[in-house]
């Protein structure tokens, strides 16, 4: 009898102890998150900003564009920025898109000219295999440079990097969606 009671009290201590451990870990994470979250967010914003500047080197400012996207496009397109020159004239659009690679999402910023061709492609973040899939996403690498000047019909003709077929396809998919959106943007004259 007493043995049984003993067992019961022992079992009750397990969840309590686990809760104590989890709470302590959560507290630690909350503190570290408080210390780093701002820095991480500003790092990311900084990165997108400098990526846009790298595509449109002449631009003096970027402004967020509110554009009605279709349901399908909403899944991959997150932000559209208009690049403005010194006289507030439109230079083109920077479209943030997501393509699906081998290891997950690849986020890109695609710069589109006023004639609907690609100005430049910048990779913001990805989870491709380091040293294998990531080779396709190298800045100034074989893949990204092929897109420069390509129109929507030419994107499919870009050749993938060997060993990184999925990652290359993910980038192509992202660029095609961005060009489609940009085509409608330009037609409707935003």
Residues at the site binding another protein, with contacts judged by CB under 8 A: 10, 13-14, 17-18, 21-22, 25-26, 28-29, 32-33, 36-37, 39-40, 43, 47, 103-104, 125-132, 134, 163
CB 50, min distance to another protein, A: 12
Kindly report the length of the chain: 190
Nearer to another protein among residue 5 and residue 16 (C-beta): 16
User: Among candidates 190, 168, 174, 162, which has minimal Cα distance to 64?
Assistant: 190
Nearer to another protein among residue 59 and residue 109 (C-beta): 109
DSSP code, position 102 = S
What is the C-alpha separation between 70 and 163, in angstroms, rounded?
34
Cross-strand pairs, 95: 80, 110
CB 80, min distance to another protein, A: 24
Nearer to another protein among residue 50 and residue 63 (C-beta): 50
Nearer to another protein among residue 28 and residue 148 (C-beta): 28
CA quadruple 59, 151, 66, 98: dihedral sign: negative
């Amino acid at each position: 009898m007493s043995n049984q009671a003993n067992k019961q009290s022992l079992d009750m201590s397990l969840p309590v102890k686990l809760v104590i451990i989890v709470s302590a870990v959560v507290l630690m994470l909350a503190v570290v998150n408080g210390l780093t979250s701002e820095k991480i967010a500003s790092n990311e914003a900084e990165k997108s900003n400098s990526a846009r500047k790298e595509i449109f080197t002449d631009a003096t400012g970027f402004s967020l564009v509110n554009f009605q996207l279709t349901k399908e496009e909403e899944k991959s397109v997150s932000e559209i920025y208009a690049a403005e020159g010194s006289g507030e004239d439109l230079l083109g659009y920077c479209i943030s898109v997501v393509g699906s690679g081998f290891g997950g999402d690849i986020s890109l910023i695609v710069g589109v000219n006023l004639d609907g061709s690609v100005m430049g492609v910048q990779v913001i973040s990805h989870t491709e295999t380091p040293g294998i899939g990531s080779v396709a996403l190298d800045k100034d690498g074989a893949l990204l440079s092929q897109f420069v000047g390509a129109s929507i019909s030419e994107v499919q003709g870009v050749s993938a990097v060997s060993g990184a077929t999925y990652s290359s396809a993910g980038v192509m998919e992202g660029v095609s969606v961005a060009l489609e959106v940009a085509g409608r943007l330009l037609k409707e004259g935003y």
